[in-house]
Structure 1
Amino acid sequence: MKAGLIVEKPASVFDRHQEWAGLAAFLPATGSATGGATLGVVSGRRRQGKSYLLRALAEAAEGVYFGATEATEAESIRQFTRSISQQTGRVPQADVHTWDEAVRHMFTSVQGSPCPVVIDEFPFLTAASPALPSILQRELGPGGSGAGSSARLILCGSALSVMGRLLSGTAPLRGRAGLELIIRPFGYRDAAEFWGIGDPRLALLVHSVVGGTPAYRYEFNRGDVPTGLEDFDAWIVRTVLNPQVPLFREARYLLSEEPDIRDPAIYQSVLAAIAAGNCTNGGIANYVGRKSAEIAHPLRVLEDCGLIERQPDTFGAKRVQYRISEPLVAFYEAVMRARWAALESGRASQVWESVRHTFKTQILGPHFEGVCRSYVRNRDLEIFGEFADQVGNAVINDPVSRLQIEIDIAVTAAESAGRRRVLGLGEAKWGETVGTGHLDRLRRAKELLNGKKLDVADAHLMLFGAAGFTEGVQAAAASDPRVHLVDLGRLYRDGTQPVTTSAEELGT
């Protein structure tokens, strides 16, 4: 092991600067007085590059990496012990038959300078050996074999429901971890760079299908990237809708791989309901033909698995919406699931032609809204001059028109002295030109919120338009610094000129 190692992120690891910094900080660079072994937990949905990142860490820090497999307890213990011995050069003095012996061998084999010891796919081990977390707790505690070890033990897994329970409630390892890191998909800008796409419209189209999951760029997609906007439709047909490409079945596998999902039918129906725009508890229940109480558990499991997100109303109304977190799952539910037989028979071109409108309304529109919210979260100081406490969506009742005004981007500051300040209200439109009518809706919403005793004096009005803006709304923005117009170019490259959009491109 290298003494006094400063762990530099390899050039082969794209982005992940913050994640690498957290891992590097978990490995002190100086001194041999480590104070014993420490524990870290790394989790994240599948295909996010966790294993790649941790392998790179183990290699850069001359540490130990073990990737667990689905196996019996006896076989897993043999594989683990053999891997530790091969990588540390320390052979156990006696045969190892139990996890108690294997864990002690691991800790006694790693001494001296701090060294990462990665156990990847940890849920595979606990499935066959439920007592393993308790054994680790004992050995990490006072008098355990970890007291004299310099191991920086990192447990990693993709089963979010299992990994989430490791440190929760009365779990044995609760309070033991010095690192808890979640590896998330790339943000929309980083994803565009990773895919090598410079056109903002094409970047968002691709992101609405495959999101920011790194594995979908090469491993699941043969490295195929659309060459331009004119190639997007053909790219969809030859990759995502092609039964011969691994990406075709990926959305199905994401659900079946979760250990807490034992009856996929109800979960598939819940996801289909959300993808179709039924985003409230009542709407989902009505779509799947169940009572609201009967879908509470599937919703909770899907949320724990990281496949859906729960979005409370920003302004406090008792209204919660759900959205699918993984774009590929949303695409599958809205476009592929009901047409699976036709797709498997090789009719991808005909299917895609028939569902382009569905893609635009059920996928592109909601996805664009989500990207716009991400933009505001990341640039709150630039836009509002202060930290945004909440960025979400909301619904405001208008008693005069007896209609509801849906706010795509609702932003509030942290509550102070019992007052809630609204920092911004925004509307996002993918397929229509944004005009003064959209601005007037936001102004009306601002008036209504003022009547609800919310402080809207400093509220900014934000209009996001993928198809551009009318001259009237551009003039309004030019005369009022609190009116913001954000096009696709601004979403992806601050300070650029607006993206020109042809009539043909608007059809996508």
Structure 2
Amino acid sequence: MSKPSHLLARDAEWSTLTAFVTHPDPHLRLGVVSGRRRVGKSYLLRALADSMDGLYVSAVAEEGTVTARRRFADDLARYAGVSSDLFRDDAGWEPLLDSAISLTTRRRGTGGLLVIDELPYWMTHSPELPGLLQLLYDRSQTGHGHDGGRVIVCGSAMSVMNDLLSGTKALRGRAVVDIRLRPFDVSTAARHWGIDDPATALRLHATLGGSPGYRNLTSAPSPRTPQEFDTWLPATVLDPGQALFSRSEAEYLLREDPRFTGSALHYAIINAVANGATSPAKIGGLLERERSSLTRPIEMLASSGYLGQSTDPLWERRPVITVADPIIRFHNLITVPKRDLIETGGSARAWRESRPTFVSRILGPHFEECSREWLRRRTVPSLGDGMSTVSSTVVNDRSGRARHEIDVIALDRRSGRATVGLIGEAKATVVRRGPSDLERLDRLKETLGDQGHDVTNAKLAIFSLEGFHPDLVAIARRRGDVLLVDLPSLLGSTEPTVLPG
């Protein structure tokens, strides 16, 4: 089943979902799709249901169980082309689910598809729903229920969706597909917003991330240049009267998950991380709380996608904690410090005063992460196979008195010794990178070798926001082991300046 032309990217997800639906298994099959709000889950699943002639139903927030079941019955009736009177008003969830699976399989055979979007809304008043799906699944497996049928449940409340398949929960071991839909990368997001200028695309992605739903929250045209971005941002993300206002969106995203509703502690943790606390101890210090009391809420925020935790791949130290969602990061670093000015009509001034913070604490780290993500998605000639990890790391110099950050490292670790495939630097500065940057990478390569890691075939990479000095390009061409990636290359519009030899 070919992917619809209006569906941007999502090739892997589409392939997985269509294979799930068309699998020849004669029994009922269950799948789970999750992801944060506005990431495009509903758009993807509606396209799937339309392509497969399936039934798509969506739960509604703050709707009672009787109204929800009646709405479900109306959806069933429309799908079957019959009067809704044929479904009793007092029909419970089990007969409604049973009827939905029967109708879809009658139309499509074993591949009949039922999609239930935003299941957590229904679970607030009907927590038995996963158990009922388990019951229907088990009956089918033992020959006492439906022949065939495919059911996909979806939701944005990540803690609820993660819990569906955990421990002894009803769907544990029964769902054969578990997709967590990710935001678009910077290149795909640029296409979605219709932005051709790489510098503008990076700034927008650093602010909003790759969730495609944000484009529908503004009536302003997409910015086309960095200068237009400086006008567009105060009129949208920093305007309290707009739906895209970062404070409204950050609070909305956290309220989406019932486990975080009204929790001042979760807000405080995110704010502490945004302001530089990268470990539980540092977060506890800022909040004046014991580190042990923060373990559970930090884990919940991480599993729900609000915080990121990355372990140093060389030294396997404790994870470094970061704010994972760009708009929440932007809100805490830009909007919160300028709240009074913004709320009194000074958004343009607030943005002018905040641009140094944006460049150093948002654009710079985001460019580094986009560089790592580019490498994860791309096969680089001569890098070699088996580079299982792309991350950042910190190394000490030979004297042990200085620490050096490596922005991008690709490696494979076995038995405590790493085989390093690439060592890279990613800088979002306003100057072009030159030979001194390559010299620094050479020194870091030597240091890693002195510490016992295999750097025999390691390549060197420099990612630059503003391009490269001609002297560096000439040296890289002579050496043949250097990869130079500028911003257009990062977005896929051009090839890297130098490919490894």
The answer to whether TM tops 0.5 is yes
Distance 1:262 1:452 in 2: 48
Distance 1:34 1:110 in 2: 16
Query: Which range moves more in the overlay, 367-376 or 190-199?
Result: 190-199
Distance 1:188 1:409, change over 3 A: same
Q: What's the counterpart of residue 9 of structure 1?
A: 3
Q: For the residues of structure 2 that align with 1:322 and 1:410, how far apart are their CA atoms? A: 18
CA distance in 2, matches of 1:122, 1:365: 38
Whether 1:52 aligns to 2:51 is no
Rounded to whole Å, the distance in 1 between the matches of 2:338 and 2:322 is 22
User: For 1:288 and 1:80, how far apart are their aligned partners in 2?
Assistant: 46
Residues 444 and 281 from structure 1, CA distance in 2 versus in 1: closer, same or farther, beyond 3 angstroms? Answer: farther
Determine the structure 2 residue equivalent to 1:73.
65
Q: Counterpart of 2:219?
A: 222
Distance 1:317 1:441, change over 3 A: farther
Taking the TM superposition and a 5 Å limit, the aligned residue runs for 1:355-374 are 355-374=354-373
Letter in 2 for 1:251: A
TM superposition shift of 1:245: 1.5
Q: 1:139·1:145 contact (CA, 8 Å) conserved in 2?
A: no
Q: Please report how far the alpha carbon of residue 215 of structure 1 lies from its aligned counterpart in structure 2 after TM superposition.
A: 0.8
Match of 1:116, as an amino acid? L
Q: Which shows bigger deviation, 369-378 or 453-462?
A: 453-462
Please list, as runs of the form range in 1=range in 2, the aligned pairs for 1:53-202 lying within 5 A after superposition.
Answer: 53-69=44-60, 70-89=62-81, 96-112=90-106, 113=109, 114-142=111-139, 147-202=145-200
Contact 1:380–1:387 (Cα < 8 Å) also in 2: no
SS of residue in 2 equivalent to 1:227: coil
Which consecutive residues of structure 2, in runs of 5 or more, have no partner in the other structure? none
Give yes or no for the alignment of 1:23 onto 2:45.
Answer: no
Residues of 1 paired with 2:290 and 2:470: CA distance?
49
Amino acid at match of 2:406: I
- Could you give the per-residue CA deviations for residues 236-264 of structure 1, whole angstroms, max 9, x where no partner exists? 11111112221102122112222111443
Q: Relative to structure 1, is the Cα distance of residues 312 and 34 closer, same or farther in structure 2, using a 3 angstrom cutoff? A: closer
Residues of 1 paired with 2:496 and 2:14: CA distance? 34
Classify the secondary structure of the residue corresponding to 1:147.
coil
**d(CA) in 1 for partners of 2:144, 2:237:** 47
- 2-side partners of 1:111 and 1:146: how far apart? 16
Moved more, 203-212 or 436-445: 436-445
Instruction: Tell me which amino acid in the other structure corresponds to 2:425.
Output: E
Q: Separation in 2 of the partners of 1:130 and 1:313? A: 40
Aligned partner of residue 141 in structure 1, secondary structure: helix
Whether the 8 Å contact between 1:381 and 1:387 is mirrored in structure 2 is no
Q: Is contact 1:44-1:160 (8 Å) kept?
A: yes
- Segment drifting more, 267-276 vs 168-177: 267-276
In structure 2, relative to structure 1, the CA distance for the partners of 1:52 and 1:497 (3 Å cut) is: closer
- The residue number in structure 2 matching 1:505 is none
**C-alpha spacing 1:341/1:468, structure 2 compared with 1 (3 Å):** same
Sort the Cα spacing of 1:146 and 1:207 in 2 relative to 1 into closer, same or farther, 3 A. Answer: farther
Q: Which amino acid aligns with 1:81?
A: A
The aligned counterpart of 1:38 is: 29
Secondary structure of the equivalent of 1:87? helix
Q: Are 1:256 and 2:250 an aligned pair?
A: no
Q: Provide Cα deviations, 1:289-319, integer angstroms capped at 9, x if missing partner.
A: 3332232222211111111211000102413
Shift of 1:18: 2.0
- 1:207 maps to what in 2? 205
Tell me the matched-pair count: 487
Asked if the contact 2:101–2:112 (Cα under 8 Å) also holds between the matched residues in 1, the reply is no
In structure 2, how many angstroms separate the alpha carbons of the residues matched to 1:490 and 1:97?
57
CA-to-partner distance for each residue in 1:267-288, whole Å, 9 max, x for gaps? 2232223223332333333333
SS in 2 for 1:421: strand
| Counterpart residue identity of residue 315, structure 2 | G
Matches of 2:335 and 2:218 in 1, distance apart?
Answer: 17
Distance change >3 Å, CA 266–CA 183, structure 1 → 2: same
SS in 1 for 2:114: strand
Q: Which residue of 2 aligns with 1:304?
A: 303
Offset of residue 208 of structure 1:
0.8
> Cα deviations across residues 193-252 of structure 1 (Å, max 9, x unaligned)?
1111111111111111111110111x2122521132221110111111112221102122
Matched with 2:450 is 451
Partner of 1:435: 434
Residue identity matched to 1:443: D
Q: What is the TM-score of this pair, normalised by structure 1?
A: 0.90
Deviation at 1:497, TM superposition (A): 8.2
2:336, 2:360 → 1: CA distance?
A: 17
Question: SS at 1:153's partner residue?
Answer: strand
CA pair 434-401 structure 1, distance change in 2 beyond 3 A: farther
Which 10-residue stretch deviates more, 288-297 or 200-209? 288-297
Whole-angstrom distance in 2 between the partners of 1:230 and 1:146: 65
Q: 1:354 to 1:95 in 2, by over 3 A?
A: closer
Alpha-carbon shift at residue 477 of structure 1 (Å): 1.5
CA distance in structure 2 between the partners assigned to 1:424 and 1:283 by the alignment: 31
* Contact 1:411–1:423 (8 Å) recurs in 2: yes
Q: What secondary structure, in the 3-state scheme, does the structure 2 residue paired with 1:485 have?
A: strand
Mapped to 2, the partners of 1:403 and 1:103 lie a distance apart of: 63
Which one-letter code corresponds to 2:346 in the other structure? R
Matched, 1:342 2:341: yes
Do the aligned partners of 1:37 and 1:146 also contact (CA within 8 Å) in 2? Answer: no
Q: In percent, how many aligned pairs have the same letter?
A: 35
Cα deviation for residue 149 of structure 1 reads 4.3
Q: Gaps spanning 5+ residues in structure 1: where? A: 1-6, 499-508
Q: Is 1:461–1:482's contact at 8 Å kept on the other side of the alignment?
A: yes
Distance 1:493 1:77 in 2: 47
Provide closer, same or farther for how the CA distance between residues 464 and 152 of structure 1 changes in structure 2, counting only shifts above 3 A: same
Q: Deviations over 1:91-114 (max 9, x none)?
A: 757554422232222233333322
How well do the aligned residues superpose, as a CA RMSD in angstroms? 2.3
Shift of 1:119: 0.6
Alpha-carbon distance in 2 for matches of 1:233, 1:246: 18
Aligned AA for 2:13?
E
* CA distance 1:336–1:171, change in 2 (3 Å): same
Code of the residue aligned with 2:320 in structure 1: it is Q
